[in-house]
Amino acid sequence: MTAATAVRHPSESPTRTQSPFAPLRARGYRIYLSGQTLASVGTWMQGIAQDWLVLQLTHSSTAVGLTLAFQFLPMLLFGVHGGQLADKFPKRRILLTTQAINTVFAVVLAGMTVTGTVRVEYVWTLALVGGFVFAVDAPTRQAFVTEVVPREYLRGAVSLNAAVFQSTRLVGPALASVLIGTVGTGWVFAANALCCVGPTVGLLRLRPADLTPAPPAPRDQQGLRAAARYVLGLPHVFWTIVLAGVVGTFGLNFPIVLTAMATRVFDGGAGTYGLFNIALAIGSMSGALLAGSRRNTRLRVIVAAGTAFRLVQALAAAAPTESSFFVLLVLLGIASLGFQSMANSSVQLWVDPEYRGRVMGLYLLVFIGGTTIGSPIVGAITSHFGPRFGMAFCGLVAATAALAIGLLHLVAERPAGRVGDLPGLAFARR
């Protein structure tokens, strides 16, 4: 297919909304989501336990930061290559392989921790190798959703995935804390190994009738340059990815700004920070479900959601009381996940199946990689100028970028001949 055909939405109904739970009508998606729910619980548990273990071994927050860097650096460097594998080989087979490797890593880390032989170097090594696995697994998993759910339910499926991930954010850390306090950190890793079995069983239970495999890209179009040319030929996809990168760089540094707001502005502690995260999670679940109820989304809607997300963040920076800040965090969560769900699902719907893995690899590279780049910048600004300024900076920078993209969109929608040949401005009427 050509770039022109990729922008059409033949399956979208004239009605603008549908039930956010409509994707559950598909058997394949129900099986897939069940496995993902268990895996998400394990992921949150593993993250809490791993950070706590490194802190116990080193008594250094810097060491904890290094662990996170080892985890996400491979995605920043090789995420697009992981998407290339997803376009080249059967996605189900790739996911079975990555899931098996993750299970082995969890078992190894559990064994070393329980027996007392673990060292921080071992944790870093597993985090780095696991980061390479994640660089393959993440874009493959994103693209695989389109194979287990009918096209008309894809937007809702992506949103439900996000809602589930946010709901397990409330469950996973709580379970990890209980296990750490009762039986020890090592058993949290063992519990995660059990959680990894869920997606594997789900993938094995999928029948051929449950799947609609994407056709492999032609051999002469499997390279990364072909994917880059393809994205540049779809400006609405290109600018959505750019906006996601800006939001990821400056708008999603919640651990930095929320810890500072909790301790330095509202004189709270870990409990206050926990409440702030609960507010975000509640809003995020609601935002994901609202986004999933839409049957179609135009670029201007994504731009508006991105702008609203950032403006609410800037407004929250000026909240006078802890209770008003809590309410604004709920609204921030709604706007944040609403934007993320619409941007993610729209990019997947706007591209041809044979390019989806590489495009989602690029999307995740700028979205996750942007956070890696922006974190030290936001941290330095917050430390030097204060939490309120840091939080407002995050919101206003991304809001300005969203408004600029929206302005480019309006210029590009002028009648033919008014825009000229400016690169990136030939927007389809989205």
The pLDDT of 394-423, averaged and rounded, is 66
For 419, which DSSP code? S
| Sign of the Cα pseudo-torsion (247, 249, 252, 258, in order) | negative
Q: Specify burial of residue 403 (Cβ count, 10 A radius: 0-12, 13-18, 19+).
A: middle
Q: What's the pLDDT score for residue 32?
A: 92
Q: Specify burial of residue 422 (Cβ count, 10 A radius: 0-12, 13-18, 19+).
A: exposed
The CATH class given to the 21-214 domain equals mainly alpha
Please report, to the nearest 10 degrees, the dihedral formed by the alpha carbons of residues 78, 143, 201, 198 taken in order. 70
SS3 sequence, 73-97? HHHHHHHHHHHHHHHHCCHHHHHHH
Q: Which residue has the tokens 């800006």?
A: 246
Q: Where are the alpha helices (DSSP H) in 183-298?
A: 185-205, 224-232, 235-250, 254-260, 270-292
Q: Which amino acid is at 332?
A: L
The pLDDT of 269-277, averaged and rounded, is 76
Residue 421: pLDDT over 50: no
Phi-psi label, residue 116: left if phi above 0, alpha if psi -120 to 50, beta otherwise? left
Q: Specify burial of residue 347 (Cβ count, 10 A radius: 0-12, 13-18, 19+).
A: buried
Q: What's the pLDDT score for residue 424?
A: 42
> pLDDT per residue over 185-209, tens digit each?
899 999 999 999 989 999 999 998 8
The pLDDT of 355-384, averaged and rounded, is 83
Please report, to the nearest 10 degrees, the dihedral formed by the alpha carbons of residues 423, 3, 339, 39 taken in order. -130
The pLDDT of 81-91, averaged and rounded, is 87
Q: How far apart are CA 394 and CA 374, in angstroms?
A: 10
Measured CA to CA in angstroms, residue 292 lies from 20, 26, 247, 308, 387 at distances of 5, 15, 20, 18, 33
Q: What's the pLDDT score for residue 3?
A: 42
Helix (H, G, I), strand (E, B) or coil at 71: helix
Q: What's the pLDDT score for residue 220?
A: 55
The pLDDT of 230-234, averaged and rounded, is 89
Residue 400: pLDDT over 80: yes
Q: Do the Cβ atoms of 44 and 173 come closer than 8 Å?
A: yes
Q: How confident is the model at residue 412 (pLDDT cuts 50, 70, 90)?
A: low
The pLDDT of 27-52, averaged and rounded, is 89
The pLDDT of 263-283, averaged and rounded, is 82
Mean model confidence pLDDT for the chain = 82
Q: Specify burial of residue 321 (Cβ count, 10 A radius: 0-12, 13-18, 19+).
A: exposed
The pLDDT of 301-311, averaged and rounded, is 87
pLDDT over 90, % of the chain = 26
Q: What's the pLDDT score for residue 10?
A: 37
pTM over 0.85: no
Q: How would CATH label the architecture of 221-430? A: Up-down Bundle (1.20)
> pLDDT per residue over 341-354, tens digit each?
888 888 888 888 88
Residue intervals of the chain classified under CATH 1.20.1250.20 are 21-214, 221-430
Q: Which of 117-131, 217-231, 232-246, 359-373 has the highest mean pLDDT?
A: 117-131
